[in-house]
Structure formats: structure tokens, C-alpha cells
Structure 1
């Protein structure tokens, strides 16, 4: 059973977007985790929607992916559905 704070449609879009960006960067979960200084399970739990990320973690992930956080956030915002459930 997924926790409600990670099971919304909008959050699924956000995580799918980050997974896509990780793959576009040619990184495995382990490689991204190494860049973040975290264990692989950190990335796995985010991508598996077992834990929610905060804004500081989003910025760190964006930097680890080689993207300016503002640009990545703008692209994510554009990918979001009109109605956001959270």
C-alpha cells in the first residue's frame, strides 16, 4: 500500500519526469546516488515512490543531473496536469 503523500497523480508525474531526466543523462540509480553522496536506496525509494523529496533535494538532484534547478523546475511545471492533486 502506497502512502498518500506519494500516491497522487501529480507526484507520479514529477517522479516520472525525474526518472526520465536521469535516464537522459545516462545515469543509473547508483551513479546518481554517488553524485548525491547518498546510498542507492535513496534514489530507489524516491523513484519507487516510497519517499517524497523536498525542494532542497530537488535542487541537489537537478545539479547532480547537470541541469540548472530553475530550468528543470520550469520543465517539470510545464509537464504537470492542469489540476494538481497532492
Structure 2
């Protein structure tokens, strides 16, 4: 497991929610993360690797996104009219 320091925020806001989580691998820019099964989705904007830190391997900055909109824009079957509700 790799401990990362997540910096989560709403688009256009500086309302940071800073939390540590363990991941199997470090998420990369453009991927999505969520911190609970029914929680908000966040799109990774920037990854800063921190090999000097004993407590974490990276800091990740991510912005909250609309889950349904992201699915519609990124999943091929969603573009053909399939509903994900």
C-alpha cells in the first residue's frame, strides 16, 4: 500500500479537504478518485511524488466533478443513450 496525501476541492474554490489514504498504486493525472463508496468523485489534476517523505509517497490535487456528466462524456455506451441511474 502507498500512502498519499489527497488535496480535494470544488472547481474554482479553495475549500481544500486534506486527507491521507492508502492506495494500491498512486493515481495519475486524469484518473478519478473517491474516498467512500457513495461519495463524490474527484478528477486528479496534479501529482507530486515525495520520495523524501517517510509518511507518504505522493501528494495528489484533485477537483470535484459531476459523476453522471463524467460517465456520459467518457463511457462509449453512455454516448449511445444507455442510462447509468
- Tell me the TM-score range normalised by the shorter chain: under 0.3
| TM-score, normalised relative to structure 2 | 0.27
Structure with bigger helix share is 1
**Which structure features the higher share of strand residues?**
2
Larger Rg: 2
Instruction: Give me the TM-score of the superposition, normalised by structure 1.
Output: 0.27
